[in-house]
Amino acid sequence: MKLASIAAQIDGQPMFKILEHAQQLEREGHDVIHFELGEPDFETPPHIVDGCIKALHLGNTHYAPASGIYPFKNSVANATERSRGFKPGLDQILVTPGANSVIYLALKCTLDPGDEVLIPDPGFPTYTTAILACSGNPVCVPLSAQSGFCMDACSVRSRVTEKTKAIILNSPSNPTGGLTKREDIQEIYQIAKEYDLLLISDEIYSRMVFDDHEFFSPSMLDNAAERVLVLNGFSKAFAMTGWRLGVAIGPTQLIKKMTLLNSTIVSCVPPFIQAAGIAAIEGPQDVASDMLEQYRQRSKILVEGLNLIPGIRCNMPAGAIYVFANISETGMTSVEFADDLLRSAKIAVTPGIFFGQQGEGYVRFSVVTSLERIQEAINRMRMRFHA
């Protein structure tokens, strides 16, 4: 059997390879501290689980409309009005199995072969793979540590060509926790308007912003009606990775086509999963804010601890669940550092190169383990690096 040539470019999510290696060590009896996956360690809050169970008992076990059930889309529209100041029409909303699939659906409905998409580097690896799977070309916009890993409008402008079709923005960002400033987002939006581009705004960490940092969405500039497509999901803020629940909000014409594609591939998102989504949005928000506070504290302790280790430097992230540490002064590449740390200290982290060329010299720590385990990891690293 001969696979399509495009199959050779499909790389998936490389951090799962680190998890496999770490689990192998655990099977051999080692105590591994996990920082490699962006997977919250908290359980899904009970009122969300109850929302789903109630829906199951009520018999909500059949096919649902391909774009999502009315009450859930209504909740999403109201939540958007509360958080972003505009209420999208229900025909601007598509419910998907996770935020990841929104990236693919949007690109598949937008790109012709050879079209270019500007993506952040370092950035979430799915962007590259999804663009390649849609026969497009990813064009990296380098983000620098000096600018807090924000996407800068001048770098975006200089990379637009007649082949450019879309820009992907991710703020707060995976892997850096960086937040792009309102002025830069406004300017990037203007560039998208000038060149008639789609602006895909990955806002999966929008509820996860620390201290007095300000989250800004480009959808506030066009009500997601013209060229901004917001993608959001429940995996991170509500600890719902396994539920596979995501949402796209965008221009009607695009959402309509994405809905048809979604119905072709997955038919619909189960209605009882969407009921859990309603419970998450409409229910008490203190559970999510408690988890956020814990991520903030963990990030702070980890950043302080890492900065005590010779050769490692890092700043406090503005949001999300990641600490992106500069390890270049250790003299190791990011892959060598991650291998060394796993072998010598049984600590699993993700090499920065997995997120793009600009990620070289860094490793990503996901703060998805308890403060005690973070402290234990710092102690192990201090021993390893003689601090």
Ligand X SMILES: Cc1ncc(COP(=O)(O)O)c(C=O)c1O
* By the rule CB under 6 A, 100 interacts with ligand X: yes
Nearer Cβ to ligand X, position 128 or 174? Answer: 174
Nearer Cβ to ligand X, position 234 or 272? Answer: 234
Q: Please spell the DSSP secondary structure of 190-230, one letter per residue.
A: HHHHHTT-EEEEE-TTTT-B-TT-----THHHHTTSSSEEE
Alpha carbon 265 to chain centroid distance? 22
Question: Shortest approach of ligand X to residue 179 CB, angstroms?
Answer: 13
| Contact in structure between 276 and 48 (CB atoms under 8 Å) | yes
Question: Shortest approach of ligand X to residue 101 CB, angstroms?
Answer: 7
Strands 93-96 and 246-249: antiparallel
Nearer Cβ to ligand X, position 66 or 168? Answer: 168
Question: Shortest approach of ligand X to residue 373 CB, angstroms?
Answer: 20
Window 235-274: residues binding ligand X (CB under 6 A)? 235, 241, 246
Question: Shortest approach of ligand X to residue 379 CB, angstroms?
Answer: 28
| Contact in structure between 131 and 117 (CB atoms under 8 Å) | yes
Q: How far apart are CA 303 and CA 297, in angstroms?
A: 10
Question: Shortest approach of ligand X to residue 181 CB, angstroms?
Answer: 18
Q: How far apart are CA 35 and CA 196, in angstroms?
A: 40
* By the rule CB under 6 A, 98 interacts with ligand X: yes
Choices 59-67, 132-140, 233-241, 265-273; region in contact with ligand X by CB under 6 A: 233-241
Question: Shortest approach of ligand X to residue 100 CB, angstroms?
Answer: 3
Q: Please spell the DSSP secondary structure of 33-56, one letter per residue.
A: EE-SS----SPPPHHHHHHHHHHH
Nearer Cβ to ligand X, position 217 or 305? Answer: 217
**Which segments of 85-217 does DSSP mark as H helices, in order?**
99-108, 126-133, 153-157, 182-194
| Contact characters 4-33, ligand X, x per CB under 6 A | ------------------------------
Strands 137-142 and 347-348: unpaired
The correct pick among 120, 233, 251, 356 for binding ligand X (CB under 6 A) is 233
Choices 23-31, 52-60, 93-101, 358-366; region in contact with ligand X by CB under 6 A: 93-101
Nearer Cβ to ligand X, position 73 or 332? Answer: 73
First-to-last CA distance in the chain?
A: 55
Q: How far apart are CA 203 and CA 171, in angstroms?
A: 6
* By the rule CB under 6 A, 172 interacts with ligand X: no
DSSP type of residue 319: B
Site size toward ligand X, by CB under 6 A:
13
Nearer Cβ to ligand X, position 44 or 170? Answer: 170
* By the rule CB under 6 A, 319 interacts with ligand X: no
Contacts of 352 (CB under 8 A, 6+ apart): 122, 175, 324, 334, 359, 360, 361, 362, 363, 364
Q: What are phi and psi of 112, to 5 degrees?
A: -100, 160
The correct pick among 35, 86, 124, 295 for binding ligand X (CB under 6 A) is 124
Choices 92-100, 188-196, 301-309, 348-356; region in contact with ligand X by CB under 6 A: 92-100
Q: Please spell the DSSP secondary structure of 51-77, one letter per residue.
A: HHHHHHHTT--S---TT--HHHHHHHH
Number of other residues whose CB lies within 10 A of the CB of residue 207: 21
Q: How far apart are CA 238 and CA 234, in angstroms?
A: 6
| Contact characters 48-87, ligand X, x per CB under 6 A | ----------------------------------------
* By the rule CB under 6 A, 204 interacts with ligand X: yes
* By the rule CB under 6 A, 202 interacts with ligand X: yes
Nearer Cβ to ligand X, position 99 or 258? Answer: 99
Question: Shortest approach of ligand X to residue 234 CB, angstroms?
Answer: 7
Q: Interface residues with ligand X (CB under 6 A)?
A: 38, 98-100, 124, 170, 174, 202, 204, 233, 235, 241, 246
